[in-house]
Structure 1
């Protein structure tokens, strides 16, 4: 099918089915704005279909696509609601414990910094490359010109030192 034939088929499909689809979605979901957005999106997606002529029941295909778009929209809205709710609870938790937690976090951070400063240079370097810069042990080994097992030992020493500092 040529592009002009596909375009005229799409125009015909739009004029024949857009009002009915809009009414169907509005009645079913009780939301005109959603129905209008979904109708437009469905036709936009349909216009991107390369093989419109291969679809036997274009009306059925269009309606199924629109219903799937609504389901996707509802699913997305639920995820958004859960995220916003979790952020609200998280913010409330932080605000309720903020002063005490901030003081404790500062104290812990100070201990970690002192612990890192006392580490041998190679352990500190390996730790910073891995935890701060996100390098893998292999990349660190190449950068430091040591074996991977040496990097593992450096990291083990650094992590033990940090753990002990936080426990004190």
Structure 2
């Protein structure tokens, strides 16, 4: 029967939190970020506790932690690219406009972060990294139709939230 119970989860946390935190620290080089990602890793495991098999739990922890590191890195790339591509001297803009643009960017980043992991990954690979749907499908080991569906879902979700929040 798949799943882990509360006491098993506590034991797993006590046994594996430090190794997962160390693993993330080696990847990101920031102890506070490593602790946050390790905590998020265990939060995801807790959310999926009924579906998890005991035999694969440790490798699952490392996989989740690795994916969270990748997501953080991709988010940093988005911020970096925007900062480097935005030349504020290009236009004569008011401080109010700059503030609104900064707020919009922050809200947009938050909405991208709220997308499901699958949809967010496809969206960022296409819109930030410039991969084609075929390249994304090859990299993720899924069909082009699945990529198309995930992109459509991501764009639909972002469009809805942008209309309502902005």
Q: TM-score scaled by structure 1? A: 0.49
Name the structure with the higher helix share: 1
Q: TM-score scaled by structure 2? A: 0.50
